[in-house]
Structure 1
Amino acid sequence: MIELARTLEACAAKLSELADRLHDDPAAPPWFDTTARAYATRCHQAATDLTAASQALGDRV
């Protein structure tokens, strides 16, 4: 589970970086920044939840 959490954290970081890079790009659709940041937040929260679950289970899964 910890490896999945790391993957989700990496995904969150990439989405945030992409949103930062395209924030002022006129070619990016107006909804992209908000959507990318929302998904980054969800990935980060899922990683946090997986880490907590893994610790609670003693990383037996």
Structure 2
Amino acid sequence: MQRNERRKLSNIEQLRNLNTTNETKLKKTAVEESKVDHIEGEKAGLLQLQIITYLMGIMQQQADTK
């Protein structure tokens, strides 16, 4: 009987450890995804800035030729 109880407690402890490990992995994954989203957002912002600068250059050329 005691052996079964010890085995149950051991199994419970293993499940707790596994749960903690999984939670840690999920948190790390969320942080990494957040970093990727931030980088992608910065890239999109830079691309928008480049497009606006390009269009402003075209508009300036058109104004200069008139």
TM-score, normalising length: structure 1: 0.48
Q: Which has the larger radius of gyration?
A: 2
More helix by share: 2
Which structure ranks higher in relative contact order (CA pairs < 8 Å, sequence separation ≥ 6)? Answer: 1
TM-score, normalising length: structure 2: 0.45
